[in-house]
Chain A
Amino acid sequence: MLALLAARFSSVDLADDCVQDALVQAVETWSDQGIPANPASWLYTVAHNRIIDRLRRDATARRRLQAAAPELTTMAFDNAAEQEEVPIVEAREVGDEQLRLMLLCCHPALDRDTQIALTLRLVGGLTTPEIAAAFLVAEATLAQRIVRAKRKIRDARIPLSIPAELDERVDALLTVLYLVFNEGYLARGGSPDAVRVSLADEALRLTGLAIELLPGPSPARAEAEALLALELYHRSRLETRLDGAGDIVLLADQDRSRWNGALIAQANGILKRVLGTGPAGQYQLQALIASQHANAVTSADTDWITIAALYEQLMRVAGSPVVALNHAVAVSMADGPRAGLALLDELATPLENYHLYWASRGELLARTASRDLAREAFTRARALTANPAEQRHLDRRIAGV
C-alpha cells in the first residue's frame, strides 16, 4: 500500500505519513464500528484521501511559496490534482510497486545502516522504536537517520524504479535482508529475546516477499531463494543455540531432536529446486553448507569433506578472511587439527582482532594437546568479544583446557 501510494504521488515521505494516519484512524473507527468487509481497501482509501486533503490544504500556501522560494516545493504537488478517484489496483502493479520500494530502500546511494533502517521501516512496517531497540541505537539517532534518508531520496531524486541492472541491486537487497536476519539470529548485543527472534522472522518474511516480487527465473531470484533456504536452516535451530541459562551451545552439542524438522524440510525443498539452475552464487553455497549440518543425524555424521569443498568454492565466489576461517575449521574436521592450524596461520594478520579467529585457534590447539597455547588463544578471544554469552563460554574453555 505504501509502495503504491509512494509511486502514485512521487513522495515516500507523504505516503508514509498518511498511511500512519490511516492506521491510527482505523484503530479508532474499527473499535467503534467493527472491522470493515475489506480492511485493506478501507485503509488504502483513507490514506489516499488523506494525501489529497493534505495536498489541497497546502495548495494555496504552496503556490505562494513556489513564487517566493521555489526550492522548498516538492514534486508531490505536480501530479496530485488529477489523482482524485481511487484507482482499481492490479495485483501485478502492487507487486511491482513493492519491489520498487524495496530496491529504493536498498539503493546503493544510501549507506548500509540507512538501507537496513529504511527497509524495516517502509517495507517491513516496523516502528522507529522497534528498529532502534533491535539494533541497540538511540531512537533519536535512528529517527534522524530515516528523516535524512527520506530527504535525500526527495532532494537528490533517487528514482523509484526497477533498474536495468537488476542483479546488482538485488545483491544489495539480499545483503540487507541477511544482515537483518543475522542481527536477530546472532543476538550480537546479548541474549535472544522476543525482539530478536521476531527480527529474524521479519527477515524471513521479507525474503519470501522479495522472491514473490522478483521476475524469474533469473540468477538474482535463484539467489533470493537460496537465501531463504539458508535463513530457514538457521531459524530451525535458533532455539537450541543457547541453554536455559543463556549460555552458548555449540553446534556439535545442540539437541538435534529440538531442531525444527518442518523448516529444514522446507529449506531442503527450496534448495533442491534451485540447484543446478545456474552457476552457484554465494547464498546457494552457504545454504548447501547449512544443509549439510541441518541434515546430519548426529554431529559425528557431518560430512566435513563436502563442507570443506563447499567453502573452497565459496572462497572463489565471495572470498573473505572470515570465509577462509570457516574453510580452515572445516579442513581441521576433515583432515585433522594440524591441517587446519596451517591454514589459520595465513589468516593471523587480517583477523588479528576477530574473536572467532582466536576462539577457533584455541579449539584446534586444544585438540593437538597444546594446552598453554590454547589457553592463550582463548584469552585473546575473550578480550575481543562484548557478548556476555560468548564471554562466559570462553571463560569455561579457558578453565577447561
Chain B
Amino acid sequence: MQYMLIIAQPPSEPFVPGAPGFDESVQAWGDFTRDIMQSGVLVSGASLQPTTTATTVKFVDNATSLVDGPFAETKEAFAGYYLINVDDLDAALAWAKKLPVGDGSVEVRPVAMMPDADGNPVDVN
C-alpha cells in the first residue's frame, strides 16, 4: 500500500548555511532519508522552497487567475513529502513519527491512483 507523508511546517525565514541549527537539521533529514531508502520502502520524495516563492493558479468557473502566494495562508504550509510503500497504516505512521519535523505536522494519506508508463490510471495498491 502506498502512502504519502505530507509535511506541513510553519513558513520560516529562508534556511541558509550558517543559520542557527542549519547543520543539525541537514544532518537529521539526511539520516532519515538514508534510513528510509535503505529500508526499501521509499518510492519518491521532495522538499519545496518556501511559500514566498509560490504562485497559485485559481480556478473559478473554468477561468483562471493568478495569486502571488500559497493556496492558503495558514500557520503551517506544505513543505515537502515522502511517498512510501508499506504494508499498512501502522507502518506508515511509524515512519511519519520518525520524521525530524521539529514544529509542524505530517498528514498520512493512502494513494488512490498513479499513472502507468502510458499515462493510464492504475491502482497501485
Contacts and interface: CB of A to CB of B under 8 A. Distances in A.
- The answer to whether A and B interact is yes
B90 A71 contact: no
Nearest to A169: B90
B123 A156 contact: no
Contacts, number: 29
A161 B113 contact: no
Interface in A240-254: none
B122 interface: yes
A158 interface: yes
A157 B90 CA distance: 9
Given A71-B112, A71-B113, A158 B123 contact: no
A159 B89 contact: yes
A70 B123 contact: yes
A182 to B, nearest CB: 29
Nearest to B1: A157
Interface string A138-180: 0000000000000000011111010100000000000000000
Give the secondary structure class of A's interface.
loop
Given A70-B122, A70-B123, A71-B123, A156 B110 contact: yes
Given A70-B123, A109-B93, A163-B90, A157 B113 contact: no
Interface in B4-54: none
Contacts of B113: 70-71
Interface string B91-125: 00100000000000000011011000000001101
Contacts of B90: 158-159, 161, 163
Contact of B88 (A70, A71, A73, A158): A158
Given A71-B113, A109-B93, A157 B88 contact: yes
Contacts of B110: 155-157
Nearest to A163: B90
A71 B113 CA distance: 7
Interface of B: 1, 87-90, 93, 109-110, 112-113, 122-123, 125
Shortest Cβ-Cβ A-B pairs, 4 listed: A70-B123, A159-B88, A157-B88, A158-B89
16 contacts: A70-B113, A70-B123, A71-B112, A71-B123, A73-B123, A109-B89, A109-B93, A155-B110, A156-B89, A157-B87, A157-B89, A157-B110, A158-B88, A159-B88, A159-B90, A161-B90
